[in-house]
Structure 1
Amino acid sequence: MTETATPTEHPAPASVRPDVTAAQLADSLDALGHRHQVLSGTIRPVATGLRAAGVARTLRFVPTEVDSADPYRDFIDFMDTVEAGEVVVIATGGCDRSAYWGELFSAAALGRGAAGAVLDGPARDTAAIAALGFPVFAAGARPIDYRGRMRVDAAQVSVECGGVTIAPGDLVVADGDGVVAAPGAVAHQAAAAADSRAAGESTVLAELRAGARLGEVWERYGLL
């Protein structure tokens, strides 16, 4: 039976402005003392130019040798609860025994308004996902189905994905540089700092392009 956490009341989820990058959120978390919130570099976007930002909705897979008569039920039930603005986070223990995400899951998530998907295992149908424009970040690609190989073990619980513990509601930002997760306890603070950093870096960039010396800009803004 799939483990599912009991819903609890939460404050409004943290969010970031649309131009905030994964690097800016990572720097903000570093400044708050959370220096290990960047997921493994093996997790990459399935196509260039993708970005996802939203709160985590988590799912965990474990190996199985049982070919169930209804192998997709737990995943279907999970996907039908995804809400707008969420990033689906799939933890597999880094197992490449199968793919865990494809075109149809992407279409379903897109239809529900999800912000993206992050998984520490392979995806498939990557060309079709790219054509849909849905932001998927995965540890490679394999064409093999998870049926009879992996099964859903838990939903909406804390999981380890790409070497980082991610809980439901944590803030996730992913782009071409990688994936960063801000723990819920500091998510609002980290988001505000990342927003401020993004605004400040725009000013720094403009001054550097206009010919300002790097040292002068550093002394003035403390941003690089």
Structure 2
Amino acid sequence: MEIKRLPVELIEEYKRLDTSSITDALDKQGIDGGLLGIKAVVDGTRVCGQAFTVHYVPCGTVKGTVGDFLDDVAAGDVVVIDNSGREYCTVWGDIMSQVAKQKGIAGTVVDGVCRDVKTIREVEYPIFTKGIYMMTGKDRVEVDAVNIPVGVSGVKVCPGDLIVADENGAVCIPVSVVEKTLEIAKSIEEVEGRIVSIVKGGKTLKEARVEMGYHKLQTKVK
């Protein structure tokens, strides 16, 4: 599946937003994009880029490979791995992290666990997972497809969707609504900043929120 490339300038604008504003903007459109349970392995790291998706399944009697898909990932993309939330084996470790860092890959999101965190933290590779566990995925799971729609925490992620992750968690923005979501998210951040300014000017928080329509900022327009 071919990835629709987004303008670099648009991605750069998303790098200045936090995931809270982005999920509020998606809520405004009736879209659930938050990837529940996905957290940073390396504190202070951030991810923003288009998704290169990878799907894993359990191995059968004939063992498959955990995959050499990194050779096909473009610089700036985010590897999104659907390992069905498995906690008994990992699909990402020190070799993958060092190679991805060298290639300029923006980061990795795993619906599952990773290992070799000492090296991951040393090279400061941005990876967001559901946990850490040392057992290898080799002979336990195998890659059965790349760049197909996958699921992470119950959210559909398609190749080319925009992935943003920070200290608050990770979110997927469908490529079809990237521009609209950016516009809404920026307006939400502007309103929230204005609320703080109004309170500093002497009004109560309640007054400021009513004035700026805070309670309906993320409410879907019918």
TM range (shorter): 0.7 to 0.9
Unaligned runs of 5+ in 1: none
Which piece of structure 1 moves more, 164-173 or 200-209?
200-209
The match for 1:24 is 21
- The residue number in structure 1 matching 2:35 is 39
Maintained 8 Å contact 1:55/1:168: yes
Instruction: Note if 1:60 corresponds to 2:51.
Output: no
**Number of the residue aligned with 1:139:** 130
* Contact 2:78-2:109 within 8 A present in 1 as well: yes
Query: In the TM superposition, what are the counterparts of 1:4-15 in structure 2 within 5 Å?
Result: 5=1, 7=2, 12=7, 15=11
Alignment partner of 2:76 out of 71, 85, 94: 85
Distance in structure 1 (CA, Å) of the matches to 2:214 and 2:103: 38
**SS of match in other structure, 1:108:** helix
SS in 2 for 1:37: coil
Identity %: 31
Name the aligned partner's letter for residue 18 of structure 1: K
Equivalent residues of 1:19, 1:198 under 8 A apart = no
Q: How does 1:103-182 map to 2 (within 5 A)?
A: 103-182=94-173
Cα deviation, residue 206, structure 1: 4.6
Q: Which amino acid aligns with 2:65?
A: P
Letter in 1 for 2:53: T
Alpha carbons of structure 1 residues 87 and 97: separation in structure 2 relative to 1, 3 Å: same
CA contact (8 A) 1:99 1:123 kept: yes
Q: Post-superposition shift, 1:96? A: 1.9
1:169-220 CA-to-partner distances (Å, cap 9, x unmatched) read: 1111111221111112212211222233334434444554565421232234
Aligned pairs for 1:196-215 within 5 A: 196-208=187-199, 212-215=203-206
Superposed displacement of residue 84, structure 1: 2.3
Query: In 1, Cα distance between the equivalents of 2:118 and 2:5?
Result: 37
Secondary structure at the aligned position of 1:47 is classed as coil
Structure 2 gaps, min length 5: 216-222
Equivalenced residue count is 213
Q: Does 1:98 align with 2:52?
A: no
Contact 2:83-2:110 at 8 Å conserved across structures: yes
Contact 1:56 1:169 in 2 (8 A): yes
* SS of residue paired to 2:134: coil
